[in-house]
Structure 1
Amino acid sequence: MSAKNRQLTVLTVLPFAMMGVVALVDVLAGSKVGLLPMVAVGPAFASLEGGRRRVACVGAIALLLCLGLGWYDDLTDVRRASTIIASVVGVTVAGFVAVSLREQREEELENVRSIAEAAQRVLLKPVPRLAGDLRAAVSYMSAVAEARIGGDLYEVVAAPQGVRVIVGDVQGKGLEAVETAAVVLGAFREAALDEPDLIGLGRRLDRSVARQLDGEKFVTAILAEVRDREVTFLNYGHPPPLLIHADGSVALPEPPWYTLPLGLTAHAPAEPAPFRADFHPGDQLLLYTDGVTEARDDDGRFYPLAERSHLLKDDDSEAALEILRQDLLQHVSGPLHDDAAMLLLRYR
């Protein structure tokens, strides 16, 4: 049972448990203890979960319990009895008001979530399952599960120069990160069709990010171009790609030198250098964000992505990526602390 389900179970049982404890103590200790007004805690806790009908039900049970315990305790003080009943009725009414306000806030939050999901769908459109000779599959997990939106980005474009891909990670979270991701993706979708090489494409993206962020934040990214059984990379401070060959061997291609992320290259000593690797039918290329490799287990160990490459053996690309995603979640034994995106490319 998940933590959220356990919490809901506790909130469901809590009002009845509290009233039961009060009734038991009152029966065992007698009326001299004066616990009878504590029956009102039942309707108070009932407003934490469920609707108005639940509060009314718990309030009615509390009222009947007060009448029964009052008769059992031979309560003859009319003023005291009236005060106890009034307290139960008052807390029940307050529970009605609390439930109404909670449901209103939940409705507003649901509207915000719907807008966030719509923005995410516009921002991160489903990648084409087939691009040129390649088959693509994507997995995206946001650290903010309630919002289902984050700052990781990806895109696949079948350009005349070859299939061009980007996977990136915007510094920060929230709406500012989403806005920056939209700028990067918009620039990539346009420039990927125009620029003759990855160097020109990278410059276009860097200018767009620099104008948007004004030197305050940055975007790590890796660009890839697949053409003629070869893949060319351009790395802007991003984790290295994972290349899995048909024989099962694994490579993590790295550039001749590392450069700064997009938005900060004006401070870099040199532009990023393209680097190449063979990419033949039967090979697999996995691009990802640092939310994958920096995911830790309970002992603080990072997720060993390269060692888990054998999990990508399913013939269906999406099924293989789902197996890897589930293994990642099992490694952390809970929600991720950072957004995690993975993009898998295969020859079809």
Structure 2
Amino acid sequence: MSIAVHVRRRLLAGLPFAAMLLVAAGDVLAGPDVGLLALFALGPAFASVSGSARRAVLVGVFAFALCSAASAYDGLFLTRRAAVALATVAGATVAASLAARLRRGVERELAGVRSVAEAAQRVLLRPVPRLAGHMRVAVSYTSAVAEARIGGDLYEVVNGPQVTRAIVGDVQGKGLEAVETAALVLGAFREAAPDSPTLQHVGARLERALNRRLEGEEFVTAVLAEVDRRHTVTLLNYGHPPPLLMRADGTVQLAEPPEPAPPLGLAALGPNGPSPHQVQLRPGDQMLLYTDGVTEARNRRGEFYPLTQRAFRLKEHDPEAALEALRQDVVEHCAGPLGDDAAMLLLRYRDEPGAEAEM
């Protein structure tokens, strides 16, 4: 549990008592003519926001006792005004206990749904291999929905005997349908990547799988990457943001495709599929594949996240630490929840003895 969440819970827990103490102080200072007794009902009302139904009842009993004591202090005990105030406190206590019971039930249901989502996340976006020959790999996923664990962005890395193949994609749309489509793409990629002769064959198999599933204008933008033993990266870009290439000397450029191509699922409606293009990696170079949730993250002034200017965050020695530094920078840029899910996959060329034997 984060410190902010812990502090918020402590504040919510103390809110009913703070409200009742303020009412008591106001009643003592203002005197009996103002008529503040009924405001003791604020205690159980605020208690329904956090805690159990039993706690709401206990706060209500405390409020009832305070209201009785205040009415006696004001010389109003056994009067109609005091009776109305006590009835108000009792009614608020009953309502608060019912509301707390309903809230706890919803919280339990939400926790169950979240656990299912986390299990689906582990199946859908399983851990990728951290080493691939001379390549080190790191991944990051940030959901646009607070505390969510799953969405329509996808990534995968598959090691083969001669090449390593990777994909980063973004499903058009939201919700369970987007998750279902992401699962379809990942399943097709995991099946095709190990034995397809070329990256174009992998893309064709993804296209066929999607054409059997998608309807209307649904589509998936994606970048497919293939890294061979010569450390040449072959890219196929299906309408996706171009990968970012950062050289060992800090030079940054975007690996733009030679010509635009339609997303996966829209091949029948547009021009020919993407043409492969290649990028040569040298020791210390790294390539970042990402979804548009990164580059389209806006701050409060409406400015997009300047990825190329902030790529220096990737200079951390450890790839996972570098990717986490960049992710934190994106979140700080937004100063709040992201407008869209953001997935990132970092490929870094490591020059270490024995690395080639791991390929």
Q: What's the TM-score, normalizing by structure 1?
A: 0.93
Q: Does 1:262 align with 2:264?
A: yes
Percent sequence identity over aligned pairs: 62
Aligned-pair distance for 1:166? 0.3
Moved more, 194-203 or 74-83: 74-83
How far has the Cα of 1:6 moved from its partner? 7.3
Q: Does structure 1 retain, via aligned residues, the 8 Å contact 2:297–2:304? A: yes
Matches within 5 A, 1:181-200: 181-200=182-201
Q: Is the counterpart of residue 323 in structure 1 residue 307 in structure 2?
A: no
Q: Secondary structure at the match of 1:38?
A: helix
CA 1:195–1:184 in 2, change beyond 3 Å: closer, same or farther?
same
Kept in 1: contact 2:319–2:346 (CA 8 A)? yes
- Which shows bigger deviation, 33-42 or 64-73? 33-42
Structure 1 residues 161 and 215: alpha-carbon distance in aligned structure 2, compared to 1, 3 A threshold: farther
Q: CA RMSD in A?
A: 2.0
Between 79-88 and 257-266, the greater mean CA deviation after superposition: 79-88
Evaluate the alpha carbon distance shift between residue 3 and residue 275 of structure 1 in structure 2; reply closer, same or farther with a 3 A threshold: same
**Equivalent position SS for 1:344:** strand
1:203, distance to aligned residue in structure 2 (A): 1.1
In the alignment, structure 1 residue 244 sits paired with structure 2 residue 249:
no
CA deviation string 1:100-122 (max 9, x = no partner): 11111101110000000100110
Structure 2 partner of 1:302: 304
Q: Is the 8 A contact 1:131 1:156 kept in 2?
A: no
**What SS does the aligned partner of 1:136 have?**
strand
Please show how residues 71-86 of structure 1 align to structure 2 within 5 Å: 71-86=72-87
Aligned-partner residue type, residue 139 of structure 2 = V
State the distance in 1 between where 2:85 and 2:255 align.
Answer: 74
The 3-state SS of whatever aligns with 1:168 is strand
Q: For each residue in 1:71-111, what CA deviation from the matched residue of structure 2 results, as whole angstroms up to 9, or x when unmatched? A: 11111545544443333233223222221111111011100
C-alpha displacement of 1:137: 0.4
Partners of 1:230 and 1:280 within 8 A in 2: no
Could you tell me which amino acid in structure 2 is paired with residue 28 of structure 1? Answer: L
Counterparts of 1:90-169 in structure 2, within 5 Å, are: 90-169=91-170
Q: How much does 1:294 deviate?
A: 0.8
- What letter matches 1:293 in structure 2? T
- Cα distance in 2 for partners of 1:229, 1:83 equals 81
Corresponding residue for residue 50 of structure 1: 51
Q: TM-score, normalised by structure 2?
A: 0.91
Shift of 1:22: 2.8
Cα drift, residue 177 of structure 1: 0.8
Which of 262, 265, 279 is the aligned partner of 1:277? Answer: 279
Q: Distance in 2 between matches of 1:157 and 1:133?
A: 15
> Is the CA contact 2:244–2:255 (under 8 Å) kept in the aligned structure 1?
yes
**2-structure distance, mates of 1:90, 1:296:** 47
Contact 1:156 1:164 in 2 (8 A): yes
Matching residue of 1:345 = 347
Q: Deviations over 1:20-70 (max 9, x none)?
A: 343233323332333312211211121111223432332232122112111
Structure 1 window deviating more from structure 2 (138-147 vs 283-292): it is 138-147
Instruction: Kindly tell me the number of residue pairs found equivalent between the two proteins.
Output: 348
User: SS where residue 315 of structure 2 aligns?
Assistant: coil
Aligned partners of 2:326 and 2:203: how far apart in 1?
30
Q: Tell me whether 186-195 or 108-117 shows the greater mean CA deviation.
A: 186-195
Q: Tell which deviates more after alignment, 274-283 or 85-94.
A: 85-94
* Offset of residue 7 of structure 1: 5.7
Of residues 20-29 and 204-213 in structure 1, the stretch that sits farther from structure 2 once superposed is: 20-29
**Contact 1:218 1:261 (8 Å CA) reproduced:** yes
1:312 aligned counterpart, secondary structure? helix
Counterpart code for 1:336? L
Following TM superposition, the consecutive aligned residue runs of length 4 or more in structure 1 with deviations greater than 6 angstroms are 1-6
Residues 117-176 of structure 1, C-alpha deviations (whole Å, 9 max, x = no match)? 100110000001112332110011011123221110000011244110100000111111
Letter in 1 for 2:13: T
Structure 1 range deviating more: 269-278 or 88-97: 88-97
Distance in 1 of aligned mates of 2:225 and 2:270: 21
What are structure 1's unaligned runs of at least 5 residues? none
SS in 1 for 2:248: coil
Measure, in 1, the Cα distance between the counterparts of 2:74 and 2:211: 77
Quick check: 1:204 aligned with 2:194? no
> Deviation of residue 333 (structure 1)?
1.2
- Residues 12, 49 of structure 1: 8 Å contact kept: yes
CA distance in 2, matches of 1:56, 1:150: 40
- The separation in 1 between residues aligned to 2:101 and 2:29, in whole angstroms, is 37
Tell me the equivalent position of 1:16.
Answer: 17
What is the one-letter code of the residue matched to 1:339?
A: D
- 1:205 touches 1:262 (CA, 8 Å); kept in 2? yes
2:334 aligned partner: 332
Letter of the 1:111 partner, please give it: G
Partner of 2:355: none
Quote the offset at 1:318 in angstroms.
Answer: 0.6
Return the letter of the residue paired with 1:263: G
- Looking at structure 2, the residues matched to 276 and 83 of structure 1 have their Cα atoms a distance apart, in angstroms, of 80
Which amino acid is the alignment partner of residue 72 of structure 1?
Y
SS at structure 2 position matched to 1:231: strand
